[in-house]
Structure 1
């Protein structure tokens, strides 16, 4: 509240001469329990691509380690969520308390082969001396 983000006017697009062609509009501000808050729309994507350690064909997913931090939120933001699963199990094989993302947020499940599941190019093992 009281910032340029809330008041609007931040450049969204520049014209050819370096001037502002399109500026951000002011955000809606509401008061709750005596404190003013700036309302911001949530991010909505056309597609969300996530990778899970385990999943069933209904889309119930279990994430491994730190992938649990971001993948559920990314999946919930997508209109269509596609999940790659390293291990595809039968429905009911995953304990309901262990499900990190329920199937209601997943529209497509792709089972990976053993070679595809082992290929994690983003993960690199580093050792310091």
Structure 2
């Protein structure tokens, strides 16, 4: 049973996405479809003001699922992430000149977001040295090895997914559905957390809280997807997502 009465940060998905503006950069949690804020993504597709977005995420979901819906609705101008070939619509949009893409190796992406959230301007890495991904980046040599400089990543907003929130906004995650979500919560001006359950403050095990409430601006209750057999299914449809 959800304790929504005492959660001061609780808003509807429709209220939350009104704070996403045209041209914003938006961090979106998820790995494949695991740990994806489906309800928030679906709600953005129903708006007209939040277009020309730069989405920073590991990938763009799949065709018609997760961030794939946001691509079909033409809300995304640019995608920054590690791989997009899991979504045939993303590949097609890029080939047709309808989508800008910036590829970042997965580990580098994670570290860039962590750095942005920690207030670190950037870091050096050997990953991608000598490849097209290194073009235009500062290069230095340390101990005889080449490194490129990567800027820390921050965004106007972050849409993250957690399993539970307490009424203060503290978050816990479900296993690997945690993925990029906690670090994204530290690297945005506005953090909107979609959760499956809200409980009274003090009932969560403090040792399991990953994202403290001080990082969370708004909490949205997932009311569009239900978990069946370990997968998230859109209510009224047979299509499935992941944890």
TM-score band w.r.t. shorter chain: 0.5 to 0.7
- 1:42 partnered with 2:160: no
Shift of 1:57: 3.0
User: Gapped runs of 5+ residues in structure 2?
Assistant: 1-125, 235-239
Match in the other structure for 2:186: 76
Shift of 1:82: 0.2
Match in the other structure for 2:3: none
- How far apart, in 2, do the equivalents of 1:75 and 1:62 lie? 12
User: Gapped runs of 5+ residues in structure 1?
Assistant: 11-23, 125-129
Question: Rg bigger for which structure?
Answer: 1
Deviations 1:61-115 (A, max 9, x none): 11112211221122222221100111111111111101121122211111234xx
> What SS does the corresponding residue of 1:55 show, helix, strand or coil?
strand
Match in the other structure for 2:241: 123
The number of aligned residues is 104
**1:3–1:77: structure 2 CA closer, same or farther, 3 Å change rule?**
same
- How far apart, in 1, do the equivalents of 2:215 and 2:139 lie? 29
> What SS does the corresponding residue of 2:183 show, helix, strand or coil?
helix
Q: TM-score, normalised by structure 1?
A: 0.62
CA RMSD in angstroms, aligned pairs only = 2.8
Which structure ranks higher in relative contact order (CA pairs < 8 Å, sequence separation ≥ 6)?
2
**1:56–1:35: structure 2 CA closer, same or farther, 3 Å change rule?**
farther
Which of 119, 144, 164 does residue 54 from structure 1 map onto? Answer: 164
